[in-house]
Amino acid sequence: MAWALAEALAAAARGEVPVGAVVLAPDGTVLARAGNQVERCHDASAHAELLALRAAASQLGAPRLPGCDLYVTLEPCPMCAQAISFFRIRRLVFGAYDPKGGGVEHGARIFAASSCQHHPEIVGGVQEAECAAALRRFFASLRG
């Protein structure tokens, strides 16, 4: 989670919402790291999770990532949760919960839907305080 948090802080420094993600291979090596790039790329789908998943799949030369784990600083939104299912991630580990926009433990609860074909193991609340603090600082700075 420390690597994901570092990506989130780097995203904040670029003016992005501070969310970071890391994909680990089955042996624990880092396949990809990313922070949000929505503003930089002018792309509403440039969430840290999607960027990291795409990069990891590209590195492995495979459309799916079975056996891989995704660490992300914020509960994934419904779009990212569905992508996590499509990529066949083994374990999702996230930091802060997102009662408004989350799609895992809140909102759409993508993995609980009968239409969801792959359900990763889910571990929420890892380094929650640090991840949530980064988000609070970022949004407080926007409000002045």
Q: Which residues are catalytic?
A: 49
Q: How many CB atoms lie within 10 A of CB 46?
A: 17
| Encoded tokens for 92 | 């999702």
Number of residues that this document lists for the chain: 144
Q: How many CB atoms lie within 10 A of CB 2?
A: 11
Q: Number of helices (H) and strands (E) in the chain: give both, helices first.
A: 5, 5
Cα–Cα distance between 130 and 32 in angstroms, integer?
A: 21
